[in-house]
Every structure is written in structure tokens, then in C-alpha cells.
A = this chain, B = another copy of it.
Amino acid sequence: MRKLLIVGSVAFDAIETPFGKTDKILGGAAPYIALSASSFNIPSAVVSVVGDDFPKDYLEMLKKKDIDTSAIEIVQGGKTFFWSGKYHNDLNSRDTLDTQLNVLADFSPVVPDNYKDAEIVVLGNLNPLVQLSVLEQMVSKPKLAILDTMNFWMEDAFLADLKRVIAKVDVITINDEEARQLSGEYSLVKAARVISKMGPKYVVIKKGEHGALLFHEEEIFFAPALPLEEVFDPTGAGDTFAGGFAGYLAKTGNVSFESMKNAIIHASNLASFCVEKFGTERMENLSREEIQKRLKQFKQLTQFEIELS
């Protein structure tokens, strides 16, 4: 069992899907990452920032999951980061309707003393300089630093900063289009190789409903997404995936490639729940039995018996 440090946005989201729409609900990368990781019952802490408009109930809910929220700074007189988006009918693409950075614009993360030696660190999608600042505050090099990012930071204005943080992490999780953009390669096998040369020994390429690929040197492992009757709201699925990946590794303390195979299966499994309801609702109410039952489905979905000669 290792300590897991999470940095990421905490937000209000307003989401519209073909199935309905929400008012402002709990969003941001960090709650999804933390809730997903908390299913492994590991010690974890979130570094983030909110305004004084942020409901105490949300913090209480996280605390009840044994997530340390003391490093979520509450800016008096400030407003919480707000994102609003509308998904298209296929749920594979979305339009951002509104983004108000608010207190996130001046976010200067402070890692709590008791997490400066965390063995596993997840850098959720944020300005790369904020991600770098977290790594620089660690008193010892983490056993595993995991970076999640997105295409926004691959624009010219941020790319150099992004490459600096990429050079310092062990694992990057990124979606397929972003991997292509970052590497300039269409083939994901080639893209992973190019990205790995930028620093991370492990490259995880997320393909949404088409699963996820884990690359390490010349080895590749693949976890499918569980085929679902209905995807209700894809928001947070990638963060839930990253949190499940990190949570499993923190639980076992084993960061080998073999262990990471299990980690991305657990990650896909947890992400399959996230999309079943709006926002974090499903992840807040998820039992050990439900998780185990669906892991069994993953086994049935993928495991076969071919004898090799």
C-alpha cells in the first residue's frame, strides 16, 4: 500500500447529453481520479483549488471516501472553475459551451508535507507548469509519476512546457487523437514509440469506447472498454481510468509491466461505471460487489484458451 497524491482541477460542470442535462454539478479531473482510486482503499490526497462558492457537502463526500481534501485550497471571494459542454448524439464528441477558469487561473499548488514523499503521483489534466510545480515539491522522486494531459496543451503556446513535464514522468495517459498530434505519427504503435522517447517509459493510449493500449518498450497490452447498452454521460471517463490505474498500482505497490496490465483492466472496469450516470454520481455509489462482478465480465470478454505449439 502506497500513498497516492493527486493534483487536478475541481470544478462545477454543466453537462448536456442526448439523455438530459444537469445544472452545476461536481466536476473536474481530481474528483473523478480520487473517487476511482478510492475504490482500492488506499491513502490519497488531492491538491486543488476552489472558490468559496464550492459546497462543503462535496468535500464531505470525498472525505467519507478517505480522500484527504485538506490541500484543496478554498479561495475566499473566489469562484470555482466552471465548465459547460454538450455531447453530440453519438456521445463520441462534444462542444464546449462555456469555460470560466476563475480561481484555477492563479492556481499555485501546495503539496501537503505528509504527501511530499508519496510513492504514486497522478498529475491530472492542468497547465503543465502547475504539474511541474507539484513534481518539484516532492522530497523524493516518486516511484511512479503518471501524467494526464490533453490537446489544448499541445498548442504552440504551451508545448514546450508540456514537453518539460512529459520528460519527467514515468507514465503518460493520452487519447488516440492527442497521441497522433503530439507524435506526428498516425500509427499508434509508432506514436507510442515517439512519445516514449520524450520521457515516459510507459505510454497509455486511451481510445474511449475502443479500449486502451499500454506500451512499454516493444511490449503492448490492450484492455477493451466493456460493451455497454447505453453510455449516459462520458464526462470523466478518462480521469476515472487514470484514477483506477493509479489506485491499483498504489494498492499493490508493484509498478512492473505485468502489474500495469492488471491496472489498465481495473481502469477500464471503473471507467465503465463512470459513464452510466451524470457526473460523479455512479462513482460515489459503487460497491465492491459491483466492481468484482464486472471484473468477471472483463475476464469473460477477453480470456481465451488457445494452446500454442
Chain B residues with Cβ below 8 Å from A186 are: 89-90
A29–B77 Cα distance when bound, in Å, is 68
Chain B minimum-CB-distance residue to A264 = B304
Within 8 A of B (CB), among A283-309: 292, 295-296, 298-306, 308-309
Chain B minimum-CB-distance residue to A305 = B262
Chain B residues with Cβ below 8 Å from A299 are: 306, 308
A94 within 8 A of B: no
The answer to whether B224 and A306 have CB atoms under 8 Å apart is no
The answer to whether B228 and A187 have CB atoms under 8 Å apart is yes
A213 within 8 A of B: yes
A119–B220 Cα distance when bound, in Å, is 38
A222 within 8 A of B: yes
A13 nearest CB across to chain B (Å): 24
A203-229 near B? 1/0 per residue, CB < 8 Å: 000010011010000011110100111
A15 within 8 A of B: no
How many chain copies?
2
Chain B residues with Cβ below 8 Å from A90 are: 186
Q: A300 is contacted by which of B187, B210, B219, B230 (Cβ under 8 Å)?
A: B219
Chain B residues with Cβ below 8 Å from A211 are: 210-211, 224
A49-75 near B? 1/0 per residue, CB < 8 Å: 000000000000000000000000000
A89–B308 Cα distance when bound, in Å, is 36
A39 nearest CB across to chain B (Å): 14
A227–B300 Cα distance when bound, in Å, is 22
Known: A210-B210, A265-B304, A298-B306. 16 other contacts (CB 8 A): A187-B230, A189-B227, A189-B229, A210-B211, A211-B224, A219-B300, A221-B301, A222-B224, A222-B227, A222-B301, A222-B302, A258-B305, A262-B304, A265-B306, A299-B306, A302-B303
The interface of chain A, by Cβ under 8 A from chain B, is: 89-90, 186-190, 207, 210-211, 213, 219-222, 224, 227-231, 258, 261-262, 265-266, 292, 295-296, 298-306, 308-309
Q: What 8 A-B pairs have minimum CB-CB distances, sorted nearest first?
A: A210-B210, A261-B304, A222-B224, A189-B229, A189-B227, A222-B301, A262-B306, A302-B302
